[in-house]
Amino acid sequence: MKTTRRLARKFSSAEGRIPLAQLLYCNLKNDIVTCRLKTGLSFTEEWLCTKYGASRTTVRDACLRLSEEDLLQWVPKKGYSVSEITIRDLNELFQLRAILESAAVELACGLKDPARLKRAYELARVTYEPGNSDSFTAFLDTNQAFHSLIADMSGNQRLIQQLGHVLVHFSRFSYLTMGVDSYGPNVTDEHIKILDAIHQGDVETARRHSLYHMQKSKERAVRYFLR
């Protein structure tokens, strides 16, 4: 119950409070993405009710939404399990992300937004201290914010929505590999080259750097499975 109350305070606003069903969904999703709930972990609705201090109906609704997002799986007669991340999942996600992000940078070139571009440069320059989990966690949040902002610069709401869904799964993989520190200093250069091309309105160069970034990101990610 303390978790629910803390979230209720966090999300309160002048317009009122976000419904507890939404708070539970957000909290449970965050615990899955940050791997507080490990991949493959199985649990019942009763366990979730106790952990989050929520009703069974609220828990069931949240689990249904997360199942639709491929973060949870229904296990007959057992409850739910946190979806595993396989090399096939990663390959398919990278294929989809390459398509979506290359389209996003192309559209961003035609809708150059100085304020958002300036903010994107700020995010691109954020690094982390190797071996420092707090620093790496902050970097992961910043990295997702960078790619989300690129999507936002496209101006295409459906693309933004689809890429946001994909980025959630990538964020979960990043948290899973936190101890690896798989992001290196080259990430900053890759991000900035994408932004320079957008700033110049150079569609072909922006797409090329975006696809190169996806290729290098995939290589960094695959190292986790080869450890």
- Segment holding 125, helix H or strand E: none
Give span(s): CATH 1.10.10.10, the chain: 2-82
Tell me the average pLDDT of the chain.
85
pLDDT tier for residue 78 given thresholds of 50, 70 and 90: confident
Residue 28 has pLDDT above 90, yes or no: yes
Band of pLDDT at residue 50, cut at 50, 70 and 90: very high
Confidence class for position 227, pLDDT limits 50, 70, 90: low
pLDDT digits (tens, 9 = 90+) for 208-222: 999 999 998 888 777
CATH class, domain 2-82, is: mainly alpha
152 close to 160: Cβ distance less than 8 angstroms: yes
Would you state the pLDDT for residue 160? 95
Specify the pLDDT at position 13: 35
Residues 21-45 as b or e (16 or more Cβ within 10 Å = b): bbbbbebbbebbbbbebeeeeebeb
Share above pLDDT 70 across residues of the chain, in percent, rounded to a whole number: 87
Q: What is the pLDDT of residues 132-186, one digit of tens each?
A: 878 888 888 899 999 999 999 999 999 999 999 999 998 888 888 765 555 667 8
pLDDT of residue 183: 63
Q: Which one is predicted more confidently, 131 or 90?
A: 90
> Domain 87-225 falls in which CATH fold?
Four Helix Bundle (Hemerythrin (Met), subunit A) (1.20.120)
**pLDDT value of residue 15:** 40
Buried b (16+ CB within 10 A) or exposed e, 48-81: bbeebebeeebbbbbbebbeeeebbeeeeeebbb
Among 11-15, 64-68, 139-143, which stretch is predicted with the lowest mean pLDDT?
11-15
pTM of the model: 0.80
Which residues in the chain are classed under CATH 1.20.120.530?
A: 87-225
